[in-house]
Amino acid sequence: MSRNEYALLDSGDGHKLEAFGEVILDRPCAQAVWQVREPGLWQNAQARFTRKEGLRWFGRGQLPESWEVWINGVRMRLSTTDFGHIGVFPETRSLWDALRQVIVRAAEGRREPVRFLNLFAYSGGATLAAAQAGAECCHVDASKGMVQWARDNADLNGLEGASIRWIVDDVNKFLQREARRGRVYDVVLLDPPSFGRGKQGELYKIEQDLWTTLANVRAVLSEHPVCVYLTSHTPGFTPILLQNLLRSFFVGAQFSAGEMLLEGEGDVLPLPSGTWARADW
């Protein structure tokens, strides 16, 4: 069992209560439309983030500037940001485990390492999980600060010497360049934002640009691909919608889809926190 210091403690009334190691945070969550189950637990929150009074933290000064936790076998440096994020989306942690399994299985009988491409890669949890499984990784994000954060996380995990390319670039421009160079990948993960900016300020809107991104991903798949994972936090992008998009591009694959969940212990209600779809060969 991989080491884990994350826990969903409770949710409800538009909020979620989470423990990241010894730090307990109360943050908004639109999906938590039910009532909280353990009101007394919420008094343990050291800080609270709200969007109702502008983007604002309460109690942020009581938190360390940064702290480190284990999340499903990956050591992560966390820190509060002005947008309420802290450097990890814990609903993706089961995906890290799935990627490890896919990569280890695909590596059996191969002479070359499995090549993993992580697009819109954020702070690197999936990249590091893939590297731990022996993959040759490429980590792409348009934010220089986030790529550095991910590199710092690699150091925390003793992976500073691992085979990881760290790329700061607009995803579509990067993919088009890779296709021209003939570089290909066996496993691809992409978590496109609802709205974002590229390295040079390029506008990315998921409704307009995801189709192009998937076409570019198809162009860099190896001759014998293993898996493409597509995840989303965009409202309305249901599991079936994501699966239909994958079906449009990856003929001959087997498809599956579902919800990303935050899950706690005991009677803590599972909290839907995004969607995923997967193509396997």
Over residues 56-73, the pLDDT tens digits come to 999 998 899 999 999 999
Averaged over 31-43, what is the pLDDT? 96
Q: Is 84 contained in some domain? A: no
Q: Where are the alpha helices (DSSP H) in the chain?
A: 93-107, 125-132, 144-156, 171-181, 206-219, 239-249
pLDDT at 197 over 90: no
pLDDT at 1 over 70: no
99 in the same domain as 71: no
116 in the same domain as 19: no
Beta bridge partners of 67: 78
Residue with tokens 């899950």: 263
**Cβ burial, residue 167 (10 Å; 0-12/13-18/19+):** buried
- Are the beta carbons of 46 and 62 closer than 8 angstroms? yes
223 in the same domain as 150: yes
Q: Which of 49, 78, 107 is the last residue of a domain?
A: 78
Q: Where are the alpha helices (DSSP H) in 8-58?
A: none
pLDDT at 81 over 60: yes
- Are the beta carbons of 143 and 83 closer than 8 angstroms? no
**Cβ burial, residue 168 (10 Å; 0-12/13-18/19+):** middle
Please, which pLDDT band fits residue 198 given cuts at 50, 70 and 90?
A: low
Please, which pLDDT band fits residue 204 given cuts at 50, 70 and 90?
A: confident
Residue 120 domain boundaries? 90-280
What does the alpha-carbon distance between residue 119 and residue 191 come to, in Å, rounded to a whole number? 7
Say which CATH number the domain at 148 has.
Answer: 3.40.50.150
Beta bridge partners of 56: 50
What's the pTM value of the predicted model, to 2 decimals?
Answer: 0.94
97 in the same domain as 231: yes
Q: Is 22 contained in some domain? A: yes
Q: Is 189 contained in some domain? A: yes
70 in the same domain as 100: no
Q: Is 107 contained in some domain? A: yes
What does the alpha-carbon distance between residue 253 and residue 225 come to, in Å, rounded to a whole number? 9
What's the pLDDT at 200? 66
What does the alpha-carbon distance between residue 248 and residue 234 come to, in Å, rounded to a whole number? 19
Q: Is 187 contained in some domain? A: yes
119 in the same domain as 206: yes
Q: Is 103 contained in some domain? A: yes
Q: Is 83 contained in some domain? A: no
253 in the same domain as 209: yes
Averaged over 148-160, what is the pLDDT? 97
Over residues 169-181, the pLDDT tens digits come to 999 999 999 999 9
Over residues 210-263, the pLDDT tens digits come to 999 999 999 999 999 999 999 999 999 999 999 999 999 999 999 999 999 999
What does the alpha-carbon distance between residue 275 and residue 257 come to, in Å, rounded to a whole number? 8
Over residues 138-153, the pLDDT tens digits come to 999 999 999 999 999 9
Q: Which of 57, 78, 99 is the last residue of a domain?
A: 78
Share of the chain above pLDDT 90, in %: 89
What's the pLDDT at 53? 74
146 in the same domain as 71: no
Q: Is 19 contained in some domain? A: yes
**Cβ burial, residue 84 (10 Å; 0-12/13-18/19+):** middle
105 in the same domain as 56: no
| DSSP E strand stretches across the chain | 6-12, 15-20, 23-28, 47-50, 56-58, 67-71, 74-78, 115-119, 136-141, 164-168, 187-190, 195-197, 203-205, 227-232, 254-262, 271-280
186 in the same domain as 112: yes
Among 127-136, 195-204, 266-275, which stretch is predicted with the lowest mean pLDDT?
A: 195-204
pLDDT at 199 over 80: no
- Are the beta carbons of 134 and 101 closer than 8 angstroms? no
Q: Which of 56, 78, 100 is the last residue of a domain?
A: 78
162 in the same domain as 71: no
> How many domains does the chain divide into?
2
223 in the same domain as 134: yes
Over residues 3-27, the pLDDT tens digits come to 999 999 999 999 999 999 999 999 9
| Phi, psi for 169 (deg, rounded to 5) | -170, 160
